């Protein structure tokens, strides 16, 4: 006898999705599916526009990580022009990207996940949200807001606004960094460092409470992919594309322009989210993970003092020198990256030439294909454009980080459900654990509106004859 559990919508994520759990005769979970039911169509309606417009258009893919799309798009435009941008412009692009990583990771940890981590997976769902966190731990909630504000301020001081800044363009950036903006960012850094240390302490202090979750929340062997510097350091803007296996062996260390040699995309009829995979291993065996956990697994070192200190501790969660496989550790990896970004911002701002005027190079169309790759908060992001001689787009392909985690998220949901669901009743805390398994990846499904407080949720356990075995409703 087959039964189905549906979780719709999944709460405290960026976008709309649902989860279906398929139970067998023994009451155990036989299969799990993470459905993304939104369709945006950017790849289609951008055809016929010019590549010059694409950074501003694709920024609208998401309101949480617009900078990622702006930079990947601008880099694809650089490729179409066939030029290298001014070194100063590259540093400024990196500054904006680090600012975005800080604000996005702060949002994920403090606003979306901290209610579970600090209030408890089984706590009252009416209070297990950001408003409940404000009431129970106001100083922590305030710290999260301040850290996110820092990242948003960096973006705004560079690009003129914190959401959808039309600043990075093919050839460089529109405007240089002012001396006053540079000084403002430097003044905000000490507080940001303090909050980052606070977050690390909070997470590590809570680990003993979540031994069961650590074991069952997406702990499985997989491949990992992310950018690294030429000598293997942690990278978010440029460099080599590295793939490692579950043993830590390097399978690819390739130029980003060759990504199609080893990455392909599959589709499933039950979701609009594509399922990229590592081509040499085939589908679905070529499942890989991207994002903070993957980036720390593929790099040899971070390259900044505090981040390297934490990276050494992080790697103790791997078995016998292997990559860290438990998805629960995405939280830890995210906080390490916040520290890394703050250190890199501090280091870069010491460059006295940063406020110079030359921030853009100009050219005409020299290449018919442009590929831009960068690391979004959630993982590796690809933009690939094909243009005609006038720069009019003939085709557009974007491989989004969340899509690359699609197979891993499905496997995570399945693992959690098998550990906690008995097939007869559905405890509210179990549903929250399943949702938290998705939150680990911080999926960015679209730019969407979120309700303040409790989101509606309707879950049914249905027998083959249509009878409702169990049901839960949140209004």
pLDDT confidence of residue 474: 46
Rg (CA), the chain: 22
Residues in Cβ contact with 350 at an 8 Å cutoff, skipping those fewer than 6 apart = none
Query: Using CB atoms within 10 A of its CB, is residue 473 exposed (0-12), middle (13-18) or buried (19+)?
Result: exposed
pLDDT confidence of residue 454: 38
pLDDT confidence of residue 452: 33
pLDDT mean by block of 10 residues, the chain; 475 residues = 56 61 73 68 89 91 85 97 97 98 96 91 87 93 96 95 89 96 97 98 91 90 97 97 98 96 89 88 97 98 98 94 95 98 98 95 96 96 96 93 90 88 72 86 57 39 51 51
Q: What are phi and psi of 3, to 5 degrees?
A: -125, 155
pLDDT confidence of residue 473: 52
Alpha-carbon distance of 321 to 288, in angstroms, equals: 19
pLDDT confidence of residue 466: 47
What tokens were used for 416?
Answer: 């959690």
* Residue with tokens 């000084």, as numbered in its chain: 183
So where are the chain's domains? 3-38+408-474, 84-216+334-356, 220-325
Of 118, 122, 295, 317, the residue nearest 215 (C-alpha): 317
pLDDT confidence of residue 456: 39
Instruction: Calculate what percentage of the chain has a pLDDT beyond 70.
Output: 87
Q: Per-residue pLDDT tens for 117-133?
A: 999 888 888 888 889 99
- The fold of the 84-216+334-356 domain, in CATH, is Cytochrome-c3 Hydrogenase; chain B (1.10.645)
pLDDT confidence of residue 280: 97
Of 311, 370, 301, 299, the residue nearest 338 (C-alpha): 311
Q: What are phi and psi of 388, to 5 degrees?
A: -90, -175
Half-sphere exposure of 327 (CA within 13 A, CB side): 32
pLDDT confidence of residue 3: 57
Mean pLDDT (the chain) is 88
Q: Per-residue pLDDT tens for 18-61?
A: 777 777 777 677 777 777 655 667 888 899 999 999 999 888 88
């Amino acid at each position: 006898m087959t039964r189905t559990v549906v979780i719709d919508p999944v709460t405290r994520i960026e976008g709309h999705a649902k989860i279906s759990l398929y139970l067998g005769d023994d009451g155990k979970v036989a299969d799990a599916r993470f459905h993304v039911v939104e369709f945006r169509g950017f790849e289609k309606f951008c055809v016929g526009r010019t590549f010059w417009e694409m950074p501003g258009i694709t920024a609208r893919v998401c309101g949480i990580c617009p900078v990622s799309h702006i930079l990947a798009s601008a880099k694809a435009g650089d490729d179409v022009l066939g030029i290298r941008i001014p070194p100063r412009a590259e540093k400024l692009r990196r500054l904006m990207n680090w600012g975005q990583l800080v604000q996005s990771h702060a949002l994920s940890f403090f606003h979306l996940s901290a209610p579970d981590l600090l209030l408890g997976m089984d706590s009252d769902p009416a209070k297990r949200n950001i408003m409940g966190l404000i009431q129970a731990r106001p100083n922590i909630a305030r710290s999260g807001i301040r850290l996110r504000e820092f990242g948003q301020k960096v973006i705004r001081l560079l690009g003129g606004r914190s959401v959808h800044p039309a600043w990075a363009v093919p050839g460089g950036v529109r405007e240089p960094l002012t001396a006053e903006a540079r000084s403002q960012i430097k003044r905000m850094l000490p507080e940001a460092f303090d909050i980052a240390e606070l977050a690390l302490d909070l997470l590590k202090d809570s680990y003993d409470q979540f031994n069961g979750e650590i074991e069952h929340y997406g702990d499985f062997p997989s491949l990992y992919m992310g950018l690294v510097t030429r000598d293997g350091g942690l990278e978010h803007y440029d460099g080599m594309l590295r793939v490692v296996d579950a043993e830590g062996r390097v399978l690819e260390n390739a130029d980003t322009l060759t990504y199609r040699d080893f990455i392909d995309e599959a589709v499933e009829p039950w979701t609009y989210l594509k399922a990229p995979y590592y081509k040499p291993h085939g589908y679905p065996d070529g499942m890989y993970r991207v994002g903070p956990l993957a980036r720390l697994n593929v790099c040899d070192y971070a390259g900044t003092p505090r981040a390297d200190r934490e990276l050494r501790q992080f790697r103790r969660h791997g078995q016998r020198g292997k990559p860290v496989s438990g998805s629960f550790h995405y939280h830890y990896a995210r906080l390490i990256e916040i520290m890394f970004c703050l250190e890199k911002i501090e280091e870069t701002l010491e460059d006295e030439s940063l406020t110079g005027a030359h921030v853009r190079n100009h050219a005409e169309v020299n290449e018919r294909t442009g590929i831009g790759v960068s690391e979004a908060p959630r993982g590796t992001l690809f933009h690939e454009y094909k243009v005609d001689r006038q720069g009019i787009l003939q085709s557009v392909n974007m491989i989004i980080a969340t899509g690359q985690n699609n197979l891993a998220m499905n496997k995570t949901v399945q693992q959690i459900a098998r550990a906690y669901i008995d097939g007869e009743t559905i405890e509210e805390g179990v549903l929250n654990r399943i949702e938290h398994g998705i939150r680990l990846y911080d999926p960015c499904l679209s730019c969407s509106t979120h309700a303040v407080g409790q989101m509606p949720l309707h879950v049914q356990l249905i027998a083959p004859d249509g009878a409702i075995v169990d049901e839960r409703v949140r209004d």
